[in-house]
Amino acid sequence: MRTALLFGSSGLVGGHLLNQLIKDTNYSKIKLFVRSAPEITDSKVEIIKTDFNNLENHKEDIIGDDCFICIGTTKKNSPNKDEYRRIELDVPKEIAQIAKSNLVNSFIFVSALYANSKGLGDYVRFKGLVEEELKRLNFPKLRIMRPSFLMGDRKKNRASEKIGIFAFKLLSPLLLGPLKKIKPIHSETVAKAMIAVVQNDIQQNIFESNEIVELNK
């Protein structure tokens, strides 16, 4: 039986992932790293109230088989540039470094469409820089998911994102070939694929959005 480490369970993908992990009989324990304790009573879930400013204090907790990272924010929710960088770049890198030092076997990271360490926008650049650090750490099993616009029920509705998703859904039939990866994708689809790429013998590290969809077929 396996132990899952989950960061970012309050988000769109993370919430679905938690539900999938609870139902998955391959996992006997799910360590949930959170700022504030959620209302979860499942016996498989161990809630770890986490100081994300001092992750080294949780080194003894970041021990398990598969580490799932769904952490992220927006500039609207984190308008301070330093805070935005910390959440999108510094925290995932530090979690990965601790996990590697604790011999965690699998690391599964939700990155972004067009992630690029040399990208012009902070979002894709930070995701790209995290990807580079993960490759450098050389986990036995590294899986990077690059979903497109995420669909699902959000706690906070973002008007611009809803408009973007609606537009891309209308255009989806025209998005063929290399453009397939920009089609909107449901957050639950991403969550299911994250478990699938750990449990199946798939010799691939990076999954574009259209490839994530294929994993669920």
Mean pLDDT of 7-35: 94
pLDDT for 181: 76
Q: What is the pLDDT of residue 73?
A: 81
What is the tens place of the pLDDT at every residue in 33-71?
998 888 888 899 999 999 999 999 999 999 999 999 999
Predicted confidence at residue 75, as pLDDT, reads: 78
Q: What is the pLDDT of residues 2-15, one digit of tens each?
A: 999 999 998 899 99
Q: What is the mean pLDDT of residues 189-215?
A: 92
Tell whether 103 is covered by a domain: yes
Q: Which domain holds residue 135?
A: 2-212
Q: Is residue 18 part of a domain?
A: yes
Give rounded-to-5 percent helix, strand, coil for the chain: 45, 20, 35
Q: Is residue 170 part of a domain?
A: yes
Q: What is the mean predicted confidence (pLDDT) over 80-90?
A: 92
pLDDT at 138 over 90: yes
Cα(117)–Cα(122) distance, integer angstroms: 9
The pLDDT score that the predictor gives to residue 167 is: 56
| pLDDT, average across residues 22-31 | 96
Task: Examine residue 44 and state whether it is found in any structural domain, yes or no.
Answer: yes
Average pLDDT of the chain to the nearest whole number = 88
- The answer as to whether 200 is a domain residue is yes
Number of structural domains (the chain) is 1
Question: Is there a domain that residue 217 lies in?
Answer: no
User: How many degrees, rounded to 5, is the angle at CA 46 between CA 45 and CA 48?
Assistant: 135
Is residue 176 over pLDDT 60?
Answer: no
CATH number at residue 190: 3.40.50.720
Percent with pLDDT over 90 in the chain: 66
In a domain, 31, yes or no: yes
Give the pLDDT confidence score for residue 169 in this predicted structure.
59
The arithmetic mean of pLDDT across residues 121-149, rounded, is 95
pLDDT recorded at residue 172: 57
Q: Residue 127 has what pLDDT?
A: 96
CA-CA distance, 46 to 1, in Å (whole number)? 15
Question: Looking at per-residue confidence, does 77 or 45 come out higher?
Answer: 45
**Is 176 among the domain residues?**
yes
Asked whether the whole model's pTM tops 0.85, one would answer yes
